[in-house]
Amino acid sequence: MKFRAKIVDAACLNHFTRVSAMVAKLAKICTLRISPQTLNFILSDKVAGGGVSMWCELEQENFFSEFQMEGVSAENNAIYLELTSENLSRALKTAQNARALKVKLTNKHFPCLTVSIELLSVSSSSRIVTHDIPVKVIPRKLWKDLQEPTVPNSDVSIYLPVLKTMKSIVEKMRNLSSHLIIEANLSGDLNLKIETELVCVTTHFKDLGNPPLASEDASQDRDPEQMAEVRIDIRKLLQFLAGQQVNPTRAVCNIVSNKLVHFDLLHEDVSLQYFIPAFS
């Protein structure tokens, strides 16, 4: 297995740093999947067991000026590494205003992702700052648990409001309840709702719009005004919203009634899928 890559463009470096910071907020431990075309950050807690799952994908050619990798074999040309997300994010934060950043899979008595950052000093000569991030190489037999999640057929898909607005509302609702109901319909209405024995609070969003149906027959017979709803852990929703460093170009919420909510975000060349199961 071999992996080495380099970023020299300042905008690409800043974008990669923001993606890493987002992942660190969403997952303490994650899997980094390296393949010839893409990098993926993966969190694969079993949704059926109440855990969230995440699949974040970056097209490598949109970030790296140099990218070389050899997977475990020609047939399985990929590398899966488990790492502490915050370690990568912390290392990349030192790369602000860097001339270049190199990432390489190394072995220093244990497997490492070595991040080398070329910084300009006051004298205009450069200095190199190196971070060795411990990683665990995930064996081939465990890859099956780390594949891109299957998106179930949703009852309602709806575009999300501005995520900062949504976050500030959910933060206030957290003081009232530990869980929240998300409900939406095919007329572009989205409600965030808290229901307790003492209080019922609902925030309404109108005219958000609905994405074109993925298939012609999906939800074809559904009344456009009928709400689909799911009750989720409010902390898991807040963790997702707090992790959004950049306002996405597209943000979709897919509701599978009483089972899960799936958030599908796209920001230029980075896609993020995030699944939160129903609160049981």
pLDDT in tens, 144-196: 989 888 888 899 999 999 999 999 999 999 999 999 999 999 999 999 999 99
Residues forming a β-bridge with 157? 254
Tell me the two tokens of residue 273: 């899928």
pLDDT surpassing 90 at residue 49:
no
The whole-chain average pLDDT of the chain stands at 89
Q: What is the CATH number of domain 156-277?
A: 3.70.10.10
Q: What are phi and psi of 169, to 5 degrees?
A: -70, -45
pLDDT classification of 267: cutoffs 50, 70, 90: confident
Provide the percentage of residues in the chain whose pLDDT is more than 90: 68
pLDDT classification of 215: cutoffs 50, 70, 90: very low
pLDDT classification of 125: cutoffs 50, 70, 90: confident
List, in order, residues 6 or more apart from 239 with CB less than 8 Å away.
Answer: 25, 26, 52
- SS (HEC) of 196-237: CCCCEEEEEECCCCCCCCCCCCCCCCCCCCCCEEEEEEHHHH
Q: Do residues 89 and 23 touch, judged by C-beta distance below 8 A?
A: yes
The C-alpha atoms of residue 98 and residue 61 are separated, in whole angstroms, by 20
Q: Which amino acid is at 273?
A: Q
Question: Which of these, 76, 211, 235, 70, lies nearest to 154 by C-alpha position?
Answer: 211
Q: Do residues 205 and 191 touch, judged by C-beta distance below 8 A?
A: yes
pLDDT of residue 50: 64
Q: What is the CATH number of domain 2-145?
A: 3.70.10.10
Domains 2-145 and 156-277 share a fold: yes
pLDDT of residue 228: 94
pLDDT of residue 245: 67
Q: Compute how many other C-beta atoms are within 10 angstroms of the C-beta atom of residue 33.
A: 21
What residue has token string 């990218």? 67
- pLDDT tens digits, one per residue of 54-93: 999 999 999 999 999 999 888 889 999 999 999 999 999 8
Tell me the two tokens of residue 28: 């303490």
pLDDT of residue 192: 97
pLDDT classification of 257: cutoffs 50, 70, 90: very high
Whole-Å CA distances, 178 to 59, 213, 231, 256: 37, 32, 10, 20
pLDDT surpassing 80 at residue 219:
no
pLDDT of residue 269: 81
The C-alpha atoms of residue 77 and residue 115 are separated, in whole angstroms, by 22
The C-alpha atoms of residue 61 and residue 220 are separated, in whole angstroms, by 39
The C-alpha atoms of residue 21 and residue 31 are separated, in whole angstroms, by 15
pLDDT classification of 217: cutoffs 50, 70, 90: very low
The sign of the torsion formed by the CA atoms of 84, 66, 246, 170 equals negative
Domain ranges of the chain: 2-145, 156-277
Global pTM value: 0.89
**How confident is the model over 210-237, as a mean pLDDT?**
80
**Least confident segment among 27-36, 57-66, 238-247, 268-277:** 238-247
The C-alpha atoms of residue 276 and residue 258 are separated, in whole angstroms, by 11
